[in-house]
Structure 1
């Protein structure tokens, strides 16, 4: 009788299998990362939009009390949330009129996550411009 000796098969992954897994992970990351980035930007923009609406409402209350609009966020007894301040600069422009008017602008911070995005604005009539 002839006895054949078989070498035990080593267990593990081959180089080809590892390369295929790396390629699949790379493709998934290339597709998922831009979507994730857009999702995060929409979240930052939504926070800025909510803050602008709050400021506009506070401006109307300020107008009812003092017959003029405030020209700073601090004058409205408000602070810009850290999440918004990290990505946007808030500016209030007022006009004495008649009638008095204001425009609140949230401009993306240079070099930040929202760089390249358009500025958001809201005015005393409630008109909004930018990517609302």
Structure 2
């Protein structure tokens, strides 16, 4: 037994409410997605830095055993992997690794490709570290 007006319950969302949600999601995506991409790219750069440090350790290990570095110049990551046994880089998809080595020293280079094209990391036997180009906000190492 109802007295007066009967109450009608509505279920669901209005079109205006749905459009507001879509606009808020679009704004968040426009801000968050580029920041996330930069974050991921910075992660690739730091992993490439670790790859170079690992390669330097492998060369130093060889120097300690034989009192000489291998005399080799490589132009691809595959050649570099072949010249230094036991070294396997994690960032082959985003970086090419090269090596210029004499009996008394070396220079290692990681050159970015795809999204990191133009990013160049260098490491020398005297622990000189260089970073040039656009490396996703990484400024030094």
Give the TM interval when normalised to the shorter protein: 0.7 to 0.9
**Runs of 4+ with >3 A deviation:** 3-7
Offset from partner CA, 1:44-77 (integer Å, 9 cap, x none): 1111111111111221222233343233332321
**Structure 2-normalised TM-score?**
0.75
Quick one: distance in 2 between partners of 1:121 and 1:19?
Answer: 50
Output the CA distance in 2 between the equivalents of 1:7 and 1:61.
Answer: 83
User: TM-score, normalised to structure 1's length?
Assistant: 0.79
Match of 1:103 in 2: 107
Question: Which segments of 5 or more consecutive residues in structure 2 lack a partner in the other structure?
Answer: 73-79, 132-138
User: CA shift at 1:29, angstroms?
Assistant: 0.9
User: What RMSD, in angstroms, separates the aligned Cα atoms of the two structures?
Assistant: 2.2
Name the SS for the 1:122 alignment partner.
Answer: strand
Aligned residues: 123
The answer as to 2:126 corresponding to 1:119 is no
2:32 paired with 1:24:
no
Q: What aligned pairs does 1:45-124 form with structure 2 within 5 A after superposition?
A: 45-70=45-70, 71=72, 72-81=80-89, 83-96=90-103, 100-109=104-113, 111=114, 113-116=115-118, 118-124=119-125
Structure 1 stretches lacking a partner, 5+ long: none
